[in-house]
A = this chain, B = another copy of it.
Amino acid sequence: MTETTARQRKKILVVTAHPEPRSLTAALTAFAADHLRAAGHEVRVSDLYAMKWKATVDADDFPEHPAGGRLDVMGASQRATLAGRLTPDVAAEQEKVHWSDAVVLQFPLWWFSMPAILKGWIDRVFSCGFAYGPEVPAPYGGGAALAGRRALLSVTAGARGTAFSDRGVHGRLADVLHPIQHGVFWFTGMEPLEPFAVYGANDLPEDAFAAARQAYARRLDALFTDEPVAFRALAGGDYDRDMRLLPGAEAPGTSGLDLHLRPAG
């Protein structure tokens, strides 16, 4: 536990998604909240199952959408956002995101991605006009909608860690989570950290759970000091007008999704 001065006191939103209050996910959520509070931070938790979060984007999300009118989701989302006419559940979550200095998503990897209820939190809360879109500061950079917020994925997986290692059969964890790390966080201007993962989660022995808590504590202590993943900036001169990385921008031998990291050194 670190001492926290007023200057270091931060606001953290933890969003968690598991139907069982006695699950490993729930235990890690409680651990994170307690640990961060003990370090002097403010913490709010959105427990999506406990909140009975509506997962599905539909016309009911846009109260002013005319009945029978053709639903253009992005357009309706932007109009409702800019007019302040989103549903109260979505507005409340947006307020929490705005309030936060960091967002932690705690979830079990289901089919190598978020549980549907958490995907539905992203789909609904990260509305056009809030998290991206022509009417908010350009995404992908310092002036972006959600810029200045740290973002940490904290996942549990049934598989062993080697299966998510560099040469692991499921792909590197960073590559599997790329649609969230880059697609959601980077896209909206947030600063994604390396994900934190607990493997073998279907039957975790007590000593492994204790080790996981210790490792998680270290990551939480460094939530505002660890270097974010070094994704390139779209406006940084590395990409052409068609959003392709310029020839030769990468270090020799770099390929795959690593192309979009700034070369080290």
Contacts and interface: CB of A to CB of B under 8 A. Distances in A.
Interface of A: 19-20, 22-23, 49, 53, 55-59, 70-74, 108, 110-117, 119-120, 122-123, 126, 140, 158-160, 162-163, 165-171, 175-176, 178-180, 182-184, 202, 234, 239, 242-245, 253, 255-260
B72 A20 contact: yes
A171 B179 CA distance: 9
Contacts of A169: 140, 234, 239, 243-245, 260
A259 B115 CA distance: 27
Q: Work out how many copies of this chain go into the complex.
A: 2
B243 A163 contact: yes
Contact of A244 (B117, B119, B168, B255): B168
24 contacts: A19-B57, A19-B58, A23-B71, A55-B55, A55-B117, A56-B117, A56-B120, A57-B110, A57-B115, A111-B122, A112-B179, A112-B184, A116-B120, A140-B169, A159-B243, A163-B243, A163-B244, A170-B182, A170-B183, A171-B257, A175-B257, A176-B179, A256-B256, A257-B257
Nearest to A250: B167
Scoring A59, A140, A179 by chain B CB atoms within 10 A of each residue's CB, the highest score goes to A179
Contacts of A158: 74
B167 A245 contact: yes
B259 A258 contact: no
A7 to B, nearest CB: 34
